[in-house]
Structure 1
């Protein structure tokens, strides 16, 4: 008969009436990750002590799964797993804490068990439950014998003690495994954080972080460079100190309220360069950072430097202004060509031919002005086309320099400068009289270093203008940047001089004219 330690039949003999489900019990067992693990001395010692105290040839630390039982430790068996159908311990799971069987041959549930009727002819059994903190049975510490026998109260109590020790080892093993998992996850997260910080720090855009009080706590290298802070220089904490004086009102009135409301914002804002004090145009994006509970824990800032973009916009604006200026002057130039041609021509037929020739030359020069996206042009062609409307065939220009091809923007810039210089020379300088001359010379070395000079002689005495006109601004601010260099116009008494130094693309021939 199947009995508990008191010798009475268990109230849990019916497996269909248990306080737990088999799926719950199995999940609890698997949570320890103990099945099919190698032998461990801590569990082997428990099995050996159980065998010695109970005087039993077989002792087991047994874990009962849904289809088999796994022996974490065993004495006298020589195997690590057996099917659940013949397991004595599956009946022990129905007890409160221990199952004791003195004679298996007369027990209703075990007398037909192959382990009883055949070899090894098991006759007695005692097993104390391994129970989780939630009371779910997952196995036993048990002993088996080949003879009919009784187990003393001391032996039964010792099995209970060894079962508690086994559960302590399982819980400790589970805790250590969990701690290792958490440590590994923390290490992975830390490596991920380090990699993220490395990417952020090396990113080309301004990236910063402020805490929930709005104090700046991090800026990557690009951000420091943008606002003129050295790599190890202490960060100013006040966000407002990074904003240029002229934009602080906009930042305070438009950006701060959005951030306080938990919204993101994007504005063109001028930042302050702490090194030079200059205002740096930038596209400023600021957004709240939230934790898993949606609470704001800080603010992210991503800012893109717009310095080059703004400079290009200024150049385009000035180029459009120059184009408009040239369109307005076109009729004036045509009128001057017609007037000069009629004045010097012997007959109307001669005047007609000269006018046609000069207007055609003007049109060719205008082609260069409107083909900045076209093919590269030779310096000599640019100079010839730009001066043709002002030449008239009287040898007023002396031109020397090697053949070299210019990028389209450079051809356009140089043509603009020559038109401006020639127009001014015709109005006020060497070309306004009958004797003046213009000498043009340029050089290019093997490295692409470019030097260009325009020198006027023989004209009226020159005085420097009281204010700088549009043409001079064009030459100084627009033309030179296309050559990555600088340019200047000087007003000497004997004549105007224009000088430009820069670079042009390498390649092309260098034959002198």
Structure 2
């Protein structure tokens, strides 16, 4: 047998003594070194199942060194645990029984020929008791970064005084290096597996995130689409987008190919601009006409949308993301409110029923979805309707002309009672079901009829129609009722004014007869009166009241314009061409209008008899205006004569006319009279609010 140099031959007696007297605290320090323990934890090997590579090494060591026990021992805080063991039953021992703990401070093989004679191990219970081990040799398991995790050790129950050769120590150390290599490989495989697991988990998370994103994208209430390339080819679209375009097949196609109707409305120009400039395009309440398929008419909708450029890593635009919402109902609600706010003004001065209905129909068209909308005149006796040219969507045929109500069901009875007829589906309503084929011939699937009643009689019908069945919302029905109420109110106003006109004409006729009778009685009674001027003045004053009455009659006896009163009272004067008058467009209340007409009559009569109108070259200028702040405004009336004889103040007892002029417009004065050589000048002032009272 070959002779080997013994390991102990290289150690002096002093070194051996020092090793055997190693302080216990130094072993504990190495044992509990946190950096070493962290390195051990990093390999994640404690308490793992047996592995063939480690088992093969201990079996090989046992045979190579002819020992009964070989172990791969890993030293933890409070125990040593055996990753591989051969000839030893226990899988771990307490740290107090660990011989390997003494090998943690060295990079060399620890050899103890007789454990009973070494101070470090003599009292170890594995030495003093079963299995009564006697020999120990352990090669440290040193990691690449220099940490000792434990040993590959061999144990014999017989001491070996001859020690351990250098070659044997090198062999044991090489086997220990193989254990470390297995640990490193196991760590690398674990790290690889961990990376693979993390990658798989990341893929799973990414796939889950993508699934959630796709689900969110698909279920989003707003419509979304991803376009790629300068030709704007569809890459993704969600359900809302598909619904908006009528579920047409768009993926893989360009916008021009998939939606020719959109291309015609300028959508391509917008997309080209965004792709070319890289600038986001934003639109609010943009009108869009959608035609899901060629068999159905187009539908007008309103959309808010954003076209956002999509860029690559180099910042180049590669596509466009579209995100938007259908805001048709919101926009129509705004239009309904606007239409209702404006309708009162649009109907205020209209006095023709057909024009009222025409304007009401236009307001309906702006606030309601429809395929056909319009109105027609009704002949209740024959139960027919003459439909005027209506408003229609492109592709919807006209139904202008005369139609018999009974050919289309029984809802004429509702209209006669002034009830609005709402039929969401002509096939399902009992009033129209039997006439469904007739409705189909003229493309009516749903209808709404709003009656217009005049004098208690059905005269017109406003209609809204859809080719397909259509459910009118509560907001739409409310809007229709509001339009109907305003329309009926405007027509009722016409009826009331017509009735008032008849009444006024009757009153006028009777009042004129009364005034004529007063004049006749006065003429007969005053026939013998020698002062004919007074009789004539009385008659003329009655005539002036009659003229003022005619002016007031035009406004139902509520007010009269100053200009109209002046013009009417002075019209009978032969010198009217010498009278110039001007002033603001102002109305006076009924009482003030009568007083004002008498004052004008007296001033005109005096001018004709004694003043400027008594000579050919004489002139009269009449001016009126409003002066002063709004809350204290005054009506100012000026009468100025020129070119006539000098004006002289009346002497003695004043007549009725002079007294009337003197007390002014309200009977309380406010009159300035100037009698000059140039002619008479009169200025009258009165509170405007008082004069405009009815």
Smaller-chain TM-score range?
Answer: 0.5 to 0.7
- The match for 1:190 is 203
2: CA distance between counterparts of 1:57 and 1:49?
Answer: 12
How many residues end up aligned between the 2 structures?
A: 373
- The match for 1:206 is 224
CA gap of 1:215–1:233, structure 2 versus 1, over 3 A, is closer
CA deviations 1:398-447 (Å, max 9, x no partner) are: 279xxxxxxxxxxxxxxxx99998xxxxxxxxxxxxxx998545443238
2: CA distance between counterparts of 1:110 and 1:215?
Answer: 86
**Offset at residue 169 of structure 1 (A):** 1.1
CA gap of 1:71–1:438, structure 2 versus 1, over 3 A, is closer
**Offset at residue 190 of structure 1 (A):** 2.0
**Offset at residue 34 of structure 1 (A):** 1.1
Partner of residue 157 from structure 2, selected from 114, 121, 146: 146
CA gap of 1:124–1:4, structure 2 versus 1, over 3 A, is same
2: CA distance between counterparts of 1:46 and 1:230?
Answer: 67
CA gap of 1:87–1:314, structure 2 versus 1, over 3 A, is closer
Matched, 1:231 2:251: yes
**Offset at residue 142 of structure 1 (A):** 0.2
CA gap of 1:123–1:230, structure 2 versus 1, over 3 A, is same
**Offset at residue 165 of structure 1 (A):** 0.8
Superposed CA RMSD: 5.6
- The match for 2:305 is 283
- The match for 2:282 is 267
Matched, 1:133 2:144: yes
Unpaired runs of 5+ in structure 2?
1-6, 257-262, 369-373, 391-400, 410-425, 449-460, 473-694
2: CA distance between counterparts of 1:114 and 1:165?
Answer: 30
2: CA distance between counterparts of 1:445 and 1:68?
Answer: 89
- The match for 1:427 is none
**Offset at residue 138 of structure 1 (A):** 0.4
Instruction: Map 1:378-417 to 2 at 5 A.
Output: 395=380, 398=383
2: CA distance between counterparts of 1:420 and 1:302?
Answer: 43
Secondary structure at 1:94 match in 2: coil
Matched, 1:323 2:340: yes
Q: TM-score, normalised by structure 1?
A: 0.56
Partner of residue 82 from structure 1, selected from 84, 87, 93: 93
CA gap of 1:4–1:132, structure 2 versus 1, over 3 A, is farther
CA deviations 1:64-113 (Å, max 9, x no partner) are: 11110111111221110110111000001111232111122222222222
- Contact residue 104 and residue 110 of structure 1 kept, 8 A: yes
CA gap of 1:218–1:4, structure 2 versus 1, over 3 A, is farther
Instruction: Map 1:363-512 to 2 at 5 A.
Output: 395=380, 398=383, 439-440=404-405, 442-443=408-409, 444-446=426-428, 483=446, 500=465, 501-504=467-470
**Offset at residue 331 of structure 1 (A):** 3.2
Unpaired runs of 5+ in structure 1?
257-264, 338-361, 374-382, 401-416, 422-435, 455-479, 486-495, 507-513
Instruction: Map 1:219-368 to 2 at 5 A.
Output: 219-222=235-238, 230-233=250-253, 244-246=268-270, 249=273, 256=279, 267-268=282-283, 283-284=305-306, 286=308, 303-306=322-325, 308-309=326-327, 311-312=328-329, 315-316=332-333, 318-320=335-337, 322-323=339-340, 326-332=343-349, 335-336=351-352
2: CA distance between counterparts of 1:114 and 1:68?
Answer: 15
**Offset at residue 198 of structure 1 (A):** 3.8
- The match for 1:355 is none
2: CA distance between counterparts of 1:90 and 1:73?
Answer: 17
Secondary structure at 1:43 match in 2: helix
Q: TM-score, normalised by structure 2?
A: 0.43
- The match for 2:38 is 27
Secondary structure at 1:192 match in 2: helix
Secondary structure at 1:220 match in 2: strand
CA deviations 1:250-291 (Å, max 9, x no partner) are: 7766x54xxxxxxxx7833989x9x99x99955327498999
Secondary structure at 1:128 match in 2: strand
Q: Which has the higher contact order (CA 8 A, sep 6+)?
A: 1
1: CA distance between counterparts of 2:447 and 2:60?
Answer: 91
- Contact residue 235 and residue 251 of structure 2 kept, 8 A: no
Secondary structure at 1:326 match in 2: helix
CA deviations 1:305-324 (Å, max 9, x no partner) are: 33x32x44554465456435
CA gap of 1:137–1:252, structure 2 versus 1, over 3 A, is same
- Structure 1 stretch 317-326 or stretch 171-180: which is displaced more? 317-326
